[in-house]
Structure 1
C-alpha cells in the first residue's frame, strides 16, 4: 500500500488492491468556505458563441462584409452543416441522416453553425445569394463598411406576388432556421440609400420570408410573409419591418429576402448597408433560451471577451450605437466580429444571469492607456471622461467591475502579440500601474503560464516554456499581482499519439492529480519565497477543460469531460484557500450550453457543474480515502508521469449555516474507472447530521458520447434516497460516474 497526501484541505490517499472504497473525514480539519468564484465560466467571441448563440440576431454577415476572413475549408464546413440540417428536416427529423455524435464545427466565427448558399463566385458577400437577372446584384461600399448594390433594372408597377423567382426584381436572400418552437413573430431593420441626387426619387423594397423546400403541397419560393417599405430621398435611411412565420415548421430552413423596385420609369439602384432580424422574444438582443439556461445554472463569475480573441480586441469598437459599430475580422478564430455584443451588453447579460463580470484586457495588440480607459469606462464616475461616455450611452451608474485579467496566453505563438517572460513581466507592470491609477480598488490577475511547469524541449516550441516565466513575473510585479492565472487545458492528442484511447483516457484523468500534488504547490511556494511576506498571491485557473482534435477521446463537449469536471472541481474545493477562481471552458463554445438549428441544450459538463452549486459556502473537511489506483507512464502536455492515481476521488463539505446553502454534509465522489462498478463505504463523522439523505448520480458507458441535435438529453441523472446503517453509508459507484450526496443537518 502507498500513501499520498495532497490538497490544502488534505486528502490522504491510501492505495489498495481491493476494488472497494472507504472514506472517512476529520471534522476538526476544515478548510475555508468554498467561494462561488470556483464555479465561474468563460464567454469568448469564438465560433457560434455570440452570433448564432447568445446574440439573438438571426442573419449571418448582416453588414455585407466582402472579405469574410474564412478559408475554403471553413466555408465548406458551414455549407456541409447546412446540407445536414436540410436533410434532417426533409427526412422528418430522422437521426440516421446525421453523422454519429454530429456537432457543427467551431472554427468559423460570426456565422452561426451553418450556411445554406455560397454565391461568392458571383461577387456576393457570403452567405448571401442574389435574386434577379444575372449581374443585377454586386458587392459595393456602404455607409459603414460593406454593402450590396441592387440594380434598378426591373420595370413593373408592383412586386410579383405568390412566389419569389430568381428572374424577378433584383434582390438578395439568405437561408436560415427560425426559432419557431417558441416564437413566430420577428422584427428587423435595413439601412438603405438610393444612388441618386434627385430628392424626389422613390421606390419600394420588399422584405419577407419565402419557402426554401417544397413539400406536402407547398412549393419552393412561395412567399410566406412579406412587408413592403417605401424608400424616399437621397440620404441613408433605416427602415424597420415586422414579419410572421406562423407557417414555418421547427427546424425548417427558409429564406429571408430583400427585393428592390424603383419607381416606374426609373432605373435607380439601391445600396443595402445592413440587415438585421430578431425574434420578438429576444431579451435586449439576447436569445431567451440561452439566457434561461444560463440563469438556471450557477454562473457566479463570467470571464469575457477572451481568450485568444482579446489579443486583437479593442473595446471602443463595441460601445456606442450598434448601427455605428464597425465589423472587423476575427483574427484569432477566423470569420467576422460585428461588435454588436460589447461591454454594455456583457454587463447587462451578467445582471440577467446573476454573474459577476470578469474582464480580460488586450496586452497583445493593445496598450496600457487603452486598458486604463476601459477600467474608467466601467468603473469611473460620470465626471471622468470615460465615465461620462458611459453615462451618455445610458448607464450613469458605474459597472463596478472588480476582476481584471491582464492578458491571455501571451506566451503562445497562436496569440496576437505573443512574447516571452521578460516582456510579459514588463507589460504587466505597465498595465497594472495605468489601470490602478484609474481605480486602485480593482483586483488584477496576471498572465501565468502552465507550460512553465514543463521540462523545456523541442516538443514545446509552439510556446514559451523555459521555467522562468513566473519568476520574472513575480520579481517585477510583486506589488501589483493579486492573482496569477493558469489555464488547465490538457489536450487529448499531443504527447498521447502512441497511446490507445483507453490509455489516453486514464492519462487525462490523472492530470488534475499532478497539478494538485506537484505543479500548484510548487508555484504557490515560489510566490511565497519571492514575495518575502509582502502579501499573498492567489491563483486563478481562468480556463479549464480538455481540448484537442481527437473526437474519440474525452474533450469538453463529450461525457469524458463530465468525469474530468468532477475531478477538477474536487481539486478546486480542496484548495480554495489559495486557488479561489476557476472559469470553465466554456459557456457557449463547447462544454456547457449548445445551440444548433435554434435548439438550445446542454453538454454533460453543464449538469456536473450545476450539482456542485450546493457546496458553495460550505467548508471542505480533511479526508482519508482507501481506494484502488493506477500509474501513468506518459503525462499530457500539461501533466507528467504520475503514480498512485486513485480510481475514485472524493471531497466532503460541511455547511452549518443557511446563509449560503441547505445545512448538512455534502459529498462529491468521482469513479473514473471505465468498466468497474465500485462499492463505496463512508463512515459518518461526529457531526449533527441525519443518517438519511439524498444522492444524485450521472453515469455514462461511453466517454465520447455527447448531447446532439437529434438527442439533446442523452445523459440521465439517477436520484435515490440513501441511509447509513450503523454509522456507515454504503452505495455502488457506477463506472465513469459522478455522485453527489447530501445528508441534512439534524
Structure 2
C-alpha cells in the first residue's frame, strides 16, 4: 500500500490499517462501523465507490475488488458521516454552512440512492446559525446531526461542571430540530472527551507530529461519568455518542511496547457498559447545588456560566438479561462524604446487592505505566434491609449499585 505524508497531523500515513482492517476490528470488539467521507480532498465519486466497496453485491468494479481481497459478503456499513468539522478553518475543505449544506444534500441523496439502508450523519457546529442552515437545507434526507464537545481544566469543579454545559448544548440542538419538525433527525455526540493539556500546534512545532497523548485523572473520569448520566437523560434524542479516542491519542487506554495502562476514564466505561442496563428508568434526585463561572478546553477556549449545578447526580437503568436494577451515583463534592437516602418502593428488590466504587485519595490521581492501578474499582456486597435505605458515597466518587429484582419489570 502507498505510504503518504500526513500533512494534517504530521508523520507518515502507512495505510497499513485500512477499510478492511477497521471493519474487522469493529466486528471483533462488537462495535457498529461508522465511516466518514472526506469533503476536503475527496469527491462524491470516491464516496460512492467506497460505499459500493463496503455495502454492495453487484457485478461492478469496487464490489468485485472487495471480493478479490477475500471478503465475498458485503460489510453492510450502516453509519456514514459526510465530512468532519468543516465549519473550522483548521479543516481541509473548510466552507460556509450554505456551501456545506448543498454538498451534504448531494452526497446523502446519491449515496442513499444506491443503498437506502444507510444512515447519514451531518456535520453540526454547536452553533445555531450553522446548524439551522444545514437542517433547513438537508434535514429531510439526513438521519443525524453531529455535535462535538471537548472540555477539561486543572480546576476540579470547572471540569465536572462542564457536564451540564454539554447537557445545555444538547438541549439547544434538540430544540432546533423540534422547531423545524424534523423528528426523524437524531443527535450524534460523535466526539467527546477531556482535552486541555496537549496543544496540537505546539506539539507539531516541537515534534513534527501530533500525538495528543493527554494524561487522565480521577477528575476526568467523574466528568465522563456525568456525561453518561446526561446521555441517559437525553437518550430519546441523542442516539449516538462516541468517545474520541480509544487508544493513546486522547486515549482512555495507554500503551507502549511493554505495557497497557487503563486510565480512570476507561474504568468509567467499564462500569457503565458492563454494570448498567439498557433500559432507562426515571430517577428523581434532591441535592444541593452551586453556581460557577468556568473555563474549559485547552487555553480556556470555552467559557461558560451555570447555576444549579448538582453535587450529586445519577441515573437508574434496568438490565433485562440479569433482571437487575442498576443505580449510578456520582458524588461531585471534592472533600465531603454524603449519605444518600434511596427509595425503591416501586421495586421488588432482593435483600443483597453489589456495590462497585471508583475512587482514589486525590482527584488528580491517574494510572500510568509506573502505577497501573492507582485509580481502580472496589467491589463489595451490601445488604438491602428494606425498600428505603441509605448509602454513603465517598467524596469525588462514582458508585454503581446492582440490585437483583425478585420479579421482572417486563
What is the TM-score of this pair, normalised by structure 2? Answer: 0.89
Once the 2 structures are TM-superposed, how far is the Cα of residue 508 of structure 1 from its aligned partner?
A: 2.2
1:510 aligns with 2:186: no
Q: Does structure 1 conserve the Cα–Cα contact (< 8 Å) formed by 2:276 and 2:317?
A: no
The 3 A distance-change label for structure 1 pair 559 and 728 is same
Superposed CA offset, 1:82-141 (max 9, x none): xxxxxxxxxxxxxxxxxxxxxxxxxxxxxxxxxxxxxxxxxxxxxxxxxxxxxxxxxxxx
Once the 2 structures are TM-superposed, how far is the Cα of residue 543 of structure 1 from its aligned partner?
A: 1.0
Structure 1 residue corresponding to 2:262, chosen from 602, 613, 623: 602
The 3 A distance-change label for structure 1 pair 609 and 684 is same
Greater length-normalized contact order (CA 8 Å, ≥ 6 residues apart): 1
Aligned to 1:412: 88
Which aligned pairs between 1:337-352 and structure 2 lie closer than 5 A? 337-352=13-28
Q: Does structure 2 conserve the Cα–Cα contact (< 8 Å) formed by 1:402 and 1:441?
A: yes
CA–CA distance in structure 2, aligned partners of residues 556 and 653 of structure 1 = 31
Aligned to 1:369: 45
Structure 2 residue corresponding to 1:542, chosen from 148, 173, 190: 190
Aligned to 2:397: 737
Matched position secondary structure for 1:627: coil
Matched position secondary structure for 2:284: strand
The 3 A distance-change label for structure 1 pair 347 and 701 is same
Aligned to 1:525: 175
The 3 A distance-change label for structure 1 pair 438 and 557 is farther
Matched position secondary structure for 1:690: coil
Which aligned pairs between 1:248-287 and structure 2 lie closer than 5 A? none
CA–CA distance in structure 2, aligned partners of residues 647 and 535 of structure 1 = 33
Once the 2 structures are TM-superposed, how far is the Cα of residue 429 of structure 1 from its aligned partner?
A: 1.0
Superposed CA offset, 1:607-662 (max 9, x none): 1111112466532222221112211123545562100111111101133x32xxx1
Once the 2 structures are TM-superposed, how far is the Cα of residue 413 of structure 1 from its aligned partner?
A: 2.0
Q: Does structure 2 conserve the Cα–Cα contact (< 8 Å) formed by 1:490 and 1:639?
A: no
CA–CA distance in structure 1, aligned partners of residues 276 and 161 of structure 2 = 25
Structure 2 residue corresponding to 1:720, chosen from 369, 372, 380: 380
CA–CA distance in structure 1, aligned partners of residues 349 and 60 of structure 2 = 54
1:676 aligns with 2:298: no
CA–CA distance in structure 1, aligned partners of residues 50 and 276 of structure 2 = 31
Aligned to 2:99: 423
Q: Does structure 2 conserve the Cα–Cα contact (< 8 Å) formed by 1:546 and 1:556?
A: no
Q: Does structure 1 conserve the Cα–Cα contact (< 8 Å) formed by 2:293 and 2:303?
A: no
Aligned to 2:228: 569
CA–CA distance in structure 1, aligned partners of residues 388 and 357 of structure 2 = 19
The 3 A distance-change label for structure 1 pair 556 and 438 is farther
Gaps of 5+ in 2: 200-213
The 3 A distance-change label for structure 1 pair 639 and 402 is farther
CA–CA distance in structure 2, aligned partners of residues 385 and 556 of structure 1 = 45
Which aligned pairs between 1:46-65 and structure 2 lie closer than 5 A? none
Structure 2 residue corresponding to 1:479, chosen from 140, 147, 155: 140
1:666 aligns with 2:326: yes
CA–CA distance in structure 2, aligned partners of residues 400 and 483 of structure 1 = 18
Q: Does structure 1 conserve the Cα–Cα contact (< 8 Å) formed by 2:277 and 2:317?
A: no
Once the 2 structures are TM-superposed, how far is the Cα of residue 515 of structure 1 from its aligned partner?
A: 2.9
Once the 2 structures are TM-superposed, how far is the Cα of residue 370 of structure 1 from its aligned partner?
A: 1.0
The 3 A distance-change label for structure 1 pair 371 and 562 is same
Matched position secondary structure for 1:601: strand
The 3 A distance-change label for structure 1 pair 617 and 491 is closer
Aligned to 1:469: 130
Once the 2 structures are TM-superposed, how far is the Cα of residue 489 of structure 1 from its aligned partner?
A: 0.9
Once the 2 structures are TM-superposed, how far is the Cα of residue 382 of structure 1 from its aligned partner?
A: 4.2
CA–CA distance in structure 2, aligned partners of residues 410 and 505 of structure 1 = 32
CA–CA distance in structure 1, aligned partners of residues 345 and 281 of structure 2 = 10
The 3 A distance-change label for structure 1 pair 741 and 343 is same
Once the 2 structures are TM-superposed, how far is the Cα of residue 564 of structure 1 from its aligned partner?
A: 0.8
CA–CA distance in structure 1, aligned partners of residues 265 and 378 of structure 2 = 16
Matched position secondary structure for 2:254: strand
Aligned to 2:202: none
Q: Does structure 2 conserve the Cα–Cα contact (< 8 Å) formed by 1:511 and 1:639?
A: no
Aligned to 1:398: 74
Which aligned pairs between 1:596-675 and structure 2 lie closer than 5 A? 596-614=256-274, 618-634=278-294, 636=296, 637-638=301-302, 640-655=304-319, 657-658=320-321, 662-675=322-335
CA–CA distance in structure 1, aligned partners of residues 277 and 113 of structure 2 = 33
Aligned to 2:237: 578
Q: Does structure 1 conserve the Cα–Cα contact (< 8 Å) formed by 2:188 and 2:241?
A: yes
Once the 2 structures are TM-superposed, how far is the Cα of residue 522 of structure 1 from its aligned partner?
A: 2.2
CA–CA distance in structure 1, aligned partners of residues 189 and 80 of structure 2 = 14
CA–CA distance in structure 2, aligned partners of residues 395 and 479 of structure 1 = 34
Q: Does structure 1 conserve the Cα–Cα contact (< 8 Å) formed by 2:276 and 2:326?
A: no
Q: Does structure 2 conserve the Cα–Cα contact (< 8 Å) formed by 1:382 and 1:390?
A: no
Gaps of 5+ in 1: 1-324, 453-466, 493-500
Superposed CA offset, 1:535-571 (max 9, x none): 42100100111111279xxx66332221111000111
CA–CA distance in structure 2, aligned partners of residues 617 and 433 of structure 1 = 37
What is the TM-score of this pair, normalised by structure 1? Answer: 0.50
CA–CA distance in structure 1, aligned partners of residues 405 and 385 of structure 2 = 17
